[in-house]
Amino acid sequence: MNITQEPLTDLTAKIQISLEKNDYEKEVNESLKSYQRKASMPGFRPGKVPFGLVKKMYGKAVLADKVNQLVSDKLNNYIIENKLPVLGYPMPMNDSQFFDDDNREQFDFMFELALSPDFKLDLNGTVVPYIRIEATNEEIQQAIDNMLLSNPVITQCETIGADDRVNVALAEADEKGEEIEGGFTKEFTFHMDQIKSAEAREQLIGKEIGSEFIFNFSKALEDEEAAAKILELDEDQKNIAKADFNMIINEVIHEERAELNEDLFEKIFPGAEINDEQAFREKIKQEIEKQYESESDRYFFTKAVDQLIETFEAPLPDDFLKRWLVYNSEGKLSKEAVEAEYDTKYANSIKWQMIEAELLKNNEDLKVTEKDIRDQMKSYLFANFGMGELDEEMSKRMDGIVDSMLENNDEHSRLHNELFEKKLAAYFKTEMTLQEETMTYSDFVAKINAENNHKNEIADE
């Protein structure tokens, strides 16, 4: 076997791999003998088909398979051992028609490859806009209002009021008001706001816990469908919606809007030691802005990538790359289609791949590990679990779920790319010069929309 390399241009080269018969003959014969042991053919006992006949039937296919695999392995090893900065993957310069002759003494394979040019990244000299999104007073107040509503002061009452929640036990009754044996029964809770009939509301208000009386939900809600829904009736039970029920009041709960006090502050932000409304508002402001930070980082990352691509000055082997794109598309891209979008799309994508490779080469911490991916998947699936408190059995079960999810290659790639982008964004924030600007979220959205519209207008021209 002989492997040689010679330059074609400054950024392309030819690799020739020459194989002699003794490089592959042993593996080919071993594979054919395996076929022989399994072969079944009329006139011969299983496993006793003559080797020559097996070779005649399968020899060319086995030869092609073994030689192609050997060439692929040798080409990959040559690139790795010689640390060639290959762009894309080598393209064959000759076809495999010579496999029609399985008695050849030598096979010559030629590949054309592109080499990445030398270039330097100047992250410190790259100026990138970074937008800090500031929470408005309206957003802070809306958040507080939601907290007050979702954390009400709850009081157990003895009688039903106009704005209370009521837990009741129902039993289907006949026209005489007597419970039907084996009839529909249910225990559930409703809110007085759901009761539309003034007569029904008057019947309920003031009733004490333990009161027992006849009640009709279809009339109380003034809607038979609404009654079926509140009673959670199946399709074949809907006729029950209009029935009278013997109803017993089990519990009355009154909720009032929470007050801005230290009890609420501690409930929302335990351990934060917030003592007054101003500190509470400031904490909420910080939390809102923290949630916005991921969008700021995403915008910053996009701008940083654009800047690095725009300032990339090294030449590319454009002619090779255009042919390579067409070749690897397997018929999906024409030469004309690649030519039309090469400068605006494909060349930029290749530049970014080169930049990524350069960043990874010099920064081990930017690499995304399998542990990183698994931890990210766990955080998505089990965000509400205290991961440090899991017993061994539960941990194994969760690992099994994660394994199952990550068998999906698309999901695995998505998580890898998401984590890599986060690592790069954090790295860029420390290494690049940030041109900071503060604005509200609505202004931020308007800015992005305007920029996207501008890009679309340029693309349409």
User: Could you tell me which residues are beta bridge partners of residue 24?
Assistant: none
Rounded to whole angstroms, the Cα distance separating 301 from 298 reads 5
DSSP readout, 287-347? HHHHHHHHHHHHHHHHHHHHHHHHT--S---HHHHHHHHHHHTTTSS-HHHHHHHIIIIIH
3-state class (DSSP) for residue 400: helix
Determine contact, residues 126/306, Cβ cutoff 8 Å: no
Rounded to whole angstroms, the Cα distance separating 167 from 101 reads 88
User: CB-based burial of residue 261 (10 Å sphere; 0-12 exposed, 13-18 middle, 19+ buried)?
Assistant: exposed
**Cα angle at 190 between 189 and 193, to 5 degrees?**
160
131 — alpha (psi -120 to 50), left (phi > 0) or beta? beta
| Closest-CA residue to 354 (of 400, 304, 408, 312) | 312
Q: Which residues of 407-436 are buried (b: 16+ CB within 10 A; e: fewer)?
A: eeeeeeeebbeebbbbbbbebbeeebebee
Determine contact, residues 257/148, Cβ cutoff 8 Å: yes
Question: Count of CB atoms within 10 A of residue 124's CB?
Answer: 9
Determine contact, residues 302/447, Cβ cutoff 8 Å: no
Alpha helical stretches, state H, 82-159:
137-150
> pTM of the full predicted structure?
0.72
Rounded to whole angstroms, the Cα distance separating 389 from 391 reads 7
| Closest-CA residue to 185 (of 169, 199, 197) | 169
Determine contact, residues 46/73, Cβ cutoff 8 Å: no
Residues in the chain: 461
pLDDT tens per residue across all 461 residues of the chain: 899 999 999 999 999 999 888 888 888 888 888 888 888 778 787 778 888 887 888 878 888 888 888 999 999 999 999 999 999 889 998 765 555 555 667 888 999 999 999 888 889 889 999 999 999 999 999 999 999 988 998 999 999 999 999 999 999 999 888 999 999 999 999 999 999 999 999 999 999 999 999 999 999 999 999 999 999 999 889 899 999 999 999 999 999 888 899 999 999 999 999 999 999 999 999 999 999 999 999 999 999 999 999 999 899 999 999 999 999 888 899 999 999 999 989 999 999 999 999 999 889 999 999 999 998 888 887 765 554 555 677 778 888 888 888 888 899 999 999 999 999 999 999 999 999 999 999 999 999 999 988 887 766 66
Structural domains of the chain, with CATH: 2-115 (3.30.70.1050), 153-256 (3.10.50.40), 277-315+363-460 (no CATH)
